[in-house]
Amino acid sequence: MIGLSILGSTGSIGMSTLDVVSRHPDRFRVVALTANRDTAGMLQQCRMYAPDYAVMANPRCALELEQQVAAAGLPVKVLAGGEGLEEVVSLPEVEQVMAAIVGAAGLIPTLAAVRAGKRILLANKEALVVAGRLFMEEAERHGALVLPIDSEHNAIFQCMPAGFQQGLDRVGVRKILLTASGGPFRKTPVEDLSAMTPAQACSHPNWEMGRKISVDSATMMNKGLEVIEACRLFHTEPEKIEVVVHPQSVIHSLVEYVDGSVLAQLGNPDMRTPIAHALAWPERMESGVSGLDLFDVAQLEFEPPDLQRFPCLALAYQAIESGGSAPAILNAANEVAVEYFLSGRLGFTAIAEVIRETLESLAPQYDLSLDALLAVDREARKVAEQIAGRRV
């Protein structure tokens, strides 16, 4: 039995992971589940999956859950805060850690799992965006295996040859083609974008996702963050990564080789496919996802991204090319701006403007220790808050 801890179990990725795992009760054992504030969701999961541990990042919610677990007579140990998160990813009985906490908050517990030498199923973009070089160096140092869960990066991983860690040129890879759906505003007139609402931004045409990542898809910042991730995961430079808008979300990404071959991974847009792939790798197992009907798909479309419509994508390329702490600044400013937008305090197109002004206000630093990166994250949030606040 493979012991599994799920960081962010009440979110969409966490719930999809539990769906896949529940199909293989003889293969996986849920050791720990974690959430931030969703005590009702966590209590329900404790009843259904009988973990040994449940962690609430919010201490007050942990106390509430502890009382509810005791009243229900469930043999679950409740832990709280960052220390609890780090404890459950480091347990000797845990072999795999699903890292699905959204935002920079997932960085420290995911890094703790890396340092414990676990198999990391990485669904948290920010761990690689904020501290990618440090993260991958720590993974190599501690023998942790990092497998990507993002559908695009998982697709790239499936299409990559063995030994890609030594450099793409050495294994005959010319470039990576990173697909993007284009989100809900792909055809919206540019002059109308400023009036788009949170509800409209969160109505993705293909994927069911949380609110923050749905907004990132609408601005295409998610694709910008994925470019930065891909640079770290696949040991390459941004000029070797081309973003391709593919509205059907059937081809999840492609890898082009120097001999002219292009390998693609296709499948229905369902996150259970990459989750099952990473859980079972190098084997394959049932995910619950139906097979792809090519006759039903019928037609696949491709187009270049419109950077006037999606300035966040250009800002992400700018940040990875600047290097140092610039991606961390980008990520922090984006999280602040998206939060303001979702609460109705900021217009949709102002998200990119807040990010741009924050990047212009803070010069990149090149001391990439964890403490330094966390300090950059805090400072960037403070600056972005000031910039966003002036627009309210």
**Structure tokens of 174?**
């010319």
What percent helix, strand, coil does the chain show, rounded to 5?
50, 15, 35
Listed in order, the ranges of the chain carrying CATH 1.10.1740.10 are 323-389
CATH fold of 2-148 reads Rossmann fold (3.40.50)
Q: What is the pLDDT of residue 207?
A: 65
Gap between the Cα atoms of 219 and 193, Å rounded: 10
Gap between the Cα atoms of 392 and 388, Å rounded: 7
Is 1.10.274.50 the CATH classification of the domain at 323-389?
Answer: no
Q: What is the pLDDT of residue 392?
A: 72
Gap between the Cα atoms of 213 and 220, Å rounded: 10
Q: What is the pLDDT of residue 127?
A: 87
H or E stretch including 207? none
Gap between the Cα atoms of 42 and 103, Å rounded: 20
How do the pLDDT tens digits run along the chain, 392 residues long? Answer: 999 999 999 999 999 999 999 999 999 999 999 999 999 999 999 999 999 999 999 999 999 999 999 999 999 999 999 999 999 999 999 999 999 998 778 899 999 999 999 999 999 887 899 899 999 999 999 999 999 999 999 999 999 999 999 899 999 999 999 999 999 999 999 999 999 999 999 987 766 677 888 999 999 999 999 999 999 999 999 999 999 999 999 999 999 999 999 999 999 999 999 999 999 999 999 999 999 999 998 899 999 999 999 999 999 999 999 999 999 999 999 999 999 999 999 999 999 999 999 999 999 999 789 899 999 999 999 999 999 999 87
Q: Is 98 exposed, middle or buried (0-12, 13-18, 19+ CB in 10 A)?
A: buried
H or E stretch including 209? none
Sheet with 53-56, strands from edge to edge, namely 77-80, 53-56, 28-35, 2-7, 96-99, 119-122, 145-148
**Structure tokens of 181?**
């759906």
Q: What is the pLDDT of residue 162?
A: 92
Query: How far is C-alpha 120 from the geometric centre of its chain's CA atoms?
Result: 12
> What are the backbone angles phi and psi of residue 236, rounded to the nearest 5°?
-140, 180
DSSP-assigned beta bridge partners for residue 253: 265
- Say whether pTM exceeds 0.85: yes
H or E stretch including 61? helix 59-72
Q: Count of CB atoms within 10 A of residue 95's CB?
A: 17
Q: What is the pLDDT of residue 254?
A: 98
Q: What is the pLDDT of residue 208?
A: 66
